[in-house]
Amino acid sequence: MPLNHYVTLGRSGLRVSPFCLGAMTFGEAFGFGSSVEDSQKILDRFLELGGNFIDTANMYTRGHSEKIIGDHLGRHPAKRDRIVIATKFFGSLYASDPNGGGAGRKSIVAACEQSLRRLQTDYIDLYWMHCWDKHTPIDETMAALDDLVRSGKVRYIGFSDTPAWKVTEAQMLARFKNLTPLIALQIEYSLLERTVEGELVPMAREMGLGVTPWSPLKSGLLSGKYTRENAATLKSDRSAWIKSSLNEKTFGIIDELIKIAAEVDSTPARVALAWVQGRPGVTSTILGARTLAQLDDNLAALDVTLTQAHVASLDALSKPALNFPADFLARTGSFMHPGLSINGDTAAPSPMTPKNDGERH
């Protein structure tokens, strides 16, 4: 599937590419990441191949990520208008200011104005709440975002890294108060992070939100770089965290990714990305790339076709332990429609159900 086979994001008419370019590593303020020149090359390649969805945040590389995008694309209307630029508020760039971050009206409006200035544009296509702010009533946040949309400074809104119950409250407030609704949910999702399937993903599908996974390779653990053979000799700036994460379950998934990659003539990273992109509810997966080579390699995941057997084996190896009542509800078909199939859900017969339909009490 080419990068220019666009999809609509959630319950909206916004067309986005199936992969989104994550710009968290644009700039070197954190001691790692891409130089300005490399960031510009990555942007150009992504757009050249048909990508149109770029994700950043006000706090990524302390604002430099937004500025790189603004300098290269925002100031050029012909380029800017064909791109879907998503950025986030919540993170503070002012350590001594209690209103420097969060999701209160004062903070949101100020963050939006500053992001517009760095991005050198007069509107943001998709404005994300980066995380849930437990100190601010959600109706205040939604009203402030609605004002930004009505003023023309923002086109669409979404939430990232927020509990399912709070996202649902926000979406229902929007419906009943005629405020701008959410169209997307950004969450961590990978073969090593599937607990989102308990509440967040089903909620997103029910509430009309397109899911945009971040860290689909779990910070590189699923890239194929780490194996049983080299685990003991790992040397990197994150080797302690990586070693602690390379347990038997992780190795089992990596082994299967390597096996499937050989069968489909691809790489473990591309197989892992293809699995995420194929999950129910997922619209556009966020890719991070520090080099052109990484970008090209990851984009090739769109050409990977996994069989049902491939997906089933990865599903089994990565099966998560979900919070109650997820597993309980998965078994309720046996006493709701025992022995029958409803919407493809076939339930086992139940000894609690009378065998004769005429046995009514």
SS3 category, 112: helix
Give the helix ranges, DSSP H, for 278-355.
292-299, 308-317, 326-330, 333-336
Residue 232 pLDDT > 80: no
**In which region does residue 266 sit, left (phi positive, over 0), alpha (psi from -120 to 50) or beta (all else)?**
beta
In this structure, is residue 258 part of a structural domain?
no
| CA pair distance 329, 327, nearest whole angstrom | 5
In this structure, is residue 294 part of a structural domain?
yes
- DSSP code at position 193: B
How high is the pLDDT of residue 208?
98
- pLDDT class of 130 with cuts at 50, 70, 90: very high
Which positions ≥6 away from 178 have C-beta within 8 Å?
Answer: none
Question: Is 94 one of the catalytic residues?
Answer: no
In this structure, is residue 245 part of a structural domain?
no
In this structure, is residue 21 part of a structural domain?
yes
Per-residue pLDDT, averaged over 199-217, amounts to 98
pLDDT tens digit sequence for 172-199: 999 999 999 999 999 999 999 999 999 9
- Sign of the alpha-carbon dihedral angle for 248, 250, 251, 253: positive
User: How many H-runs (helices) and E-runs (strands) does the chain carry?
Assistant: 14, 12
Question: What is the tally of structural domains in the chain?
Answer: 1
Query: Both tokens of residue 23?
Result: 């710009």
In this structure, is residue 146 part of a structural domain?
yes
Q: Are 295 and 289 in contact (CB under 8 A)?
A: yes
Give the helix ranges, DSSP H, for 178-228.
200-207
Q: Read off the amino acid at residue 288.
A: G
In this structure, is residue 316 part of a structural domain?
no
pLDDT tens digit sequence for 33-48: 999 999 999 999 999 9
SS3 category, 211: strand
Range of the domain at 183: 7-220+269-304
Report which of 59, 28, 54, 58 is spatially closest to residue 42, judged by C-alpha positions: 54
In this structure, is residue 105 part of a structural domain?
yes
How high is the pLDDT of residue 209?
98
How high is the pLDDT of residue 24?
96
Residue 359 pLDDT > 70: no
Q: Are 219 and 161 in contact (CB under 8 A)?
A: no
Q: What Cα–Cα distance (Å) separates residue 185 from each residue in 126, 181, 230, 342?
A: 11, 12, 36, 29
Higher pLDDT, 349 or 97: 97
Query: Both tokens of residue 142?
Result: 């939604």
Predicted TM-score (pTM) of this structure: 0.94
Residue 230 pLDDT > 90: no
Report which of 258, 218, 216, 293 is spatially closest to residue 19, judged by C-alpha positions: 216
Tell me the DSSP string of 20-85.
EEE-TTBSSTTS-SB-HHHHHHHHHHHHHTT--EEE--TTGGGGHHHHHHIIIIIT-HHHHTTSEE
| Backbone φ and ψ of 305, nearest 5° | -115, 115
Report which of 275, 262, 271 is spatially closest to residue 298, judged by C-alpha positions: 271
In this structure, is residue 260 part of a structural domain?
no
- Residue 300 maps to which CATH number? 3.20.20.100
Exactly one of 60, 156, 189, 226 is catalytic; name it: 60
H/E stretch holding 271 reads helix 268-277
